[in-house]
Structure 1
Amino acid sequence: MPISKKLKLIEDKNLIAYCGLYCGDCPIYKGKIADLARDLKKELRGSRFDKTAEALSGISFFKAFSKYHQCYEVLGAMVKLRCRKVCKDGGGPPFCKIS
């Protein structure tokens, strides 16, 4: 087996958490949700959408926009949804009793 395939196999095994979950399938490990949340926050901030949401919230059909600031706060939390290290590299959730 070529070295590159052996290294890939080792890396893949490292992505299998102690509990049996495969980190390679996890959106938090991949960071896709965090990246999308970051990009959306940037776009909302750049277009000053808070002002638009405030104006829209006065219309009964768009009253959900009165919660825009809560939504923006949740996006901020989603930006932090990243797993920089897998369990086998000393990462994973601090509350995990397996690792």
Structure 2
Amino acid sequence: MPEKESLVAYCGLCCLDCHGFTGKIPDLARDLRKELRAYKYDKFAHAVSEQSFGEAFKEYDTCYEVLGAMVKFRCKKGCRNG
């Protein structure tokens, strides 16, 4: 029973359902960053951000940075096991 309790995080989620524990979201974020680099999407985002329809692309660097943080959000022990 203590082993099963260790898979219940303080937030109430089961670790087996957590994106950090499964690694699904970090893996997707890593893969997206890789594709964005391959396509030099930063250059596209900069160019299109200067157009009236591309204003949201002004935040591209912030978005890319957030994806980087998502890549690092991995957990193999569960919250209770530190």
TM-score w.r.t. the length of structure 2 is 0.83
- Mind listing any 5+ residue stretches in structure 2 that lack a counterpart? none
Q: How does 1:27-46 map to 2 (within 5 A)?
A: 27-46=19-38
Kept in 2, the 8 Å contact 1:28–1:82? The answer is: yes
- When you count helix as a share of all residues, which structure comes out higher? 2
Name structure 1 gaps, 5 residues minimum. Answer: 1-8, 92-99
Aligned-partner residue type, residue 8 of structure 2: A
Cα distance in 2 for partners of 1:18, 1:50 equals: 37
How far apart, in 2, do the equivalents of 1:52 and 1:31 lie?
A: 29
Q: Which has the larger radius of gyration?
A: 1
Higher relative contact order (CA 8 A, sep 6+): 2
Tell me the percent identity. 56
Q: How many residues align?
A: 81
